[in-house]
């Protein structure tokens, strides 16, 4: 597989582009970045709105949680298929599909008269979101020369890390003055404008090929990745509660289906027919970087789910104050990402991810000290510091992981990164919430005050999170910048 690679750029990445091509490429990447920011923002925008939705739609908390769970579940099912989409269709076609789906889902959510329609709108939104991020990363890898990838990947890190972080803040501000449907009405014109501008300005930067579509792999992928995300989410939501439906059953189904999916892909990739090509893991840099991304994403999403609970239920702040407390950390990640990307281009990943992983671990250990008397200002400083550590890690890891792959595997590598992030996000949320809920529930049943019990539960959750974060420190020393000059143009041979 040489000249007909899944995503072959119009201009080889090692050839110096002329001024007109550079401007055209910048337009394509800028439109994809803005569009991706808008769609990723919606992944976490519903969390703060849950109490309002429960009252307005007359639903329970467990039902309302499905507005976030269904979004993550759809992402986990769709992202593995994007490796095929990016091979089979042009950049422009995939972009139009993604933004049309997202805009339609946003419109359905905005006009929804009840819970069922709102849930359907969220699912349609997630289809567009799941397609956009692999499209963005694959396009950047094809258009941007290796010497500049860190800077552009820094901009992608803004999308991936900042958009979910500020989602609760934006929804808190909107809900303070407007009806919950305005969370969608305000996003809709931006999404439509991005779609129309993209239709007019985005050019095709790929050469589609007749990639095979394996019908057996699709349901196995949906059951495997979807079952894991749903099972992990159910563990978190149902911790400490009795249920006639065993919470471990979706996890078992997911593990079995994922094992069958992996076996199927290993067989199909021998003939270049895999839905998700696992030869990406033939690169040690990709594998180690992906493991570190998983740990970092667990820390990010676990913290994002616990801190609002702690701030509101223990410290007594309202939703708007909670959103504003978490906003500086998101902004710091956004401001640092481009600078981190430039440092990566100059010095490689080691001087960035080693201190970054240490900072993340130190802050998580510091958060084990949280109690009912902790100052909100101390928490603000801890969250900002955590954001600094994560920003030092995300950009180098994305760039090193994808840069270590041959060009025909870019689309599969992008899909793999997105899939692992969804699984890690669900795992982090489930782990942190389950540990907190089980500890707090046990203490409350023994007569301990709810506030004290919740603080103790959060203490236990952060102890586990901090312990896991130490694995990232060890792995950080094994990540290096790929030797672009020695990068093969074909994929590793299948065995």
Give the domain ranges of the chain.
19-486
272 — alpha (psi -120 to 50), left (phi > 0) or beta?
left
| Intervals of the chain under pLDDT 50 | 1-15, 240, 486, 494-495
328 to 18, 333, 379, 384, 387: CA distances (angstroms): 39, 9, 11, 6, 9
Predicted pLDDT at 321: 81
- Torsion angle of the four alpha carbons 204, 124, 238, 435, in this order, in degrees rounded to the nearest 10: 30
> How far is Cα of residue 79 from the mean position of the Cα atoms in its chain?
11
Length of the chain: 495
Predicted pLDDT at 381: 94
* CB neighbourhood size of 272 (10 A): 17
Give dist(CA 270, CA 467) in Å, integer.
39
Selection from 51, 43, 48, 431 nearest residue 231 by Cα: 431
Give dist(CA 191, CA 371) in Å, integer.
42
Give dist(CA 457, CA 150) in Å, integer.
39
pTM as predicted: 0.78
Give dist(CA 320, CA 171) in Å, integer.
9
Selection from 394, 336, 341 nearest residue 152 by Cα: 341
CB 215 within 8 A of CB 409: no
486 to 83, 152, 347, 483, 489: CA distances (angstroms): 24, 22, 18, 6, 9
Q: What is the largest CA-CA distance in the chain?
A: 72
Residues sharing a CB contact under 8 Å with residue 210, sequence separation 6 or more, in sequence order: 88
Place of tokens 């699984």: 423
Considering the four listed CATH numbers 3.30.70.120, 3.10.450.50, 1.20.1250.20, 3.90.1310.10, the one that applies to the domain covering 19-486 is 1.20.1250.20
Give dist(CA 401, CA 417) in Å, integer.
9
How large is the C-alpha radius of gyration of the chain?
22
- Which helix H or strand E contains 29, and what residues bound it? helix 19-41
CB 414 within 8 A of CB 82: yes
- Alpha helices, H only, 144-187: 149-157, 163-177, 182-185
Selection from 378, 359, 425 nearest residue 43 by Cα: 425
DSSP track, 285-314: HHHHHHHHHHHHHHHHHHHHHHHHHHHHHT
Predicted pLDDT at 171: 80
Give dist(CA 425, CA 167) in Å, integer.
15
> How far is Cα of residue 352 from the mean position of the Cα atoms in its chain?
21
Predicted pLDDT at 259: 94
């Amino acid at each position: 597989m040489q000249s007909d690679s899944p995503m072959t750029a119009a201009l080889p990445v090692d050839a110096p582009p002329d001024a007109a091509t550079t401007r055209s490429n910048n337009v394509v990447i800028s439109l994809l970045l803005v569009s991706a920011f808008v769609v990723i923002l919606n992944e976490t925008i519903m969390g703060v709105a849950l109490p309002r939705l429960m009252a307005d739609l007359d639903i329970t908390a467990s039902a309302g949680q499905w507005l976030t769970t269904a979004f993550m579940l759809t992402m986990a099912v769709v992202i593995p298929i994007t490796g095929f989409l990016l091979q089979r269709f042009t950049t422009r076609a995939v972009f139009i599909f993604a933004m049309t789906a997202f805009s339609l889902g946003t419109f359905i959510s905005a006009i929804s008269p009840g819970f069922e329609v709102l849930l359907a709108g969220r699912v349609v939104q997630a289809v567009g979101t799941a397609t956009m991020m692999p499209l963005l990363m694959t396009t950047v890898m094809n258009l941007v020369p290796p010497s500049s990838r860190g800077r552009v990947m820094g901009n992608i890190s803004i999308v991936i890390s900042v958009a979910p972080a500020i989602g609760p803040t934006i929804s808190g501000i909107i809900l303070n003055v407007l009806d919950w449907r305005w969370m969608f009405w305000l996003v809709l014109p931006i999404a439509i404008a991005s779609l129309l501008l993209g239709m007019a300005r985005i050019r095709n930067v790929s050469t589609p090929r007749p990639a095979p579509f394996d019908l057996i792999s699709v349901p196995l992928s949906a059951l495997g990745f979807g079952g894991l995300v749903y099972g992990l989410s159910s563990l978190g939501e149902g911790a400490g509660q009795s249920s006639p439906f065993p919470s471990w059953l979706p996890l078992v189904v997911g593990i079995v289906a994922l094992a069958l999916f992996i076996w199927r892909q290993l067989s199909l990739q021998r003939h270049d027919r895999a839905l998700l090509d696992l030869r990406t893991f033939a690169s040690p840099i990709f594998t180690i970087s992906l493991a570190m991304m998983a740990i970092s994403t667990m820390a990010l999403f676990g913290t994002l789910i616990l801190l609002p609970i702690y701030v509101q239920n223990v410290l007594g702040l309202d939703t708007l104050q909670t959103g504003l407390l978490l906003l500086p950390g998101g902004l710091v990640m956004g401001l640092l990402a481009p600078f981190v990307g430039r440092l990566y281009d100059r010095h490689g990943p080691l001087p960035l991810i080693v201190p970054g992983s240490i900072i993340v671990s130190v802050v998580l250990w510091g958060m084990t000290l949280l109690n009912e008397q902790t100052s909100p200002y101390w928490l603000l400083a801890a969250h900002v510091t955590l954001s600094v550590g994560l920003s030092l890690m995300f950009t180098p890891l994305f760039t090193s992981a994808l840069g270590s792959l041959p060009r025909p595997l870019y689309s599969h590598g992008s899909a793999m990164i997105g899939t692992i992030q969804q699984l890690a996000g669900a795992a982090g949320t489930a782990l942190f919430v389950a540990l907190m809920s089980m500890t707090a529930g046990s203490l409350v049943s023994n007569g301990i005050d709810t506030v004290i019990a919740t603080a103790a539960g959060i203490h236990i959750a952060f102890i586990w999170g901090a312990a896991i974060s130490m694995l990232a420190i060890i792995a950080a020393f094994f990540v290096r910048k790929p030797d672009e000059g020695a990068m093969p143009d074909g994929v590793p041979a299948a065995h």
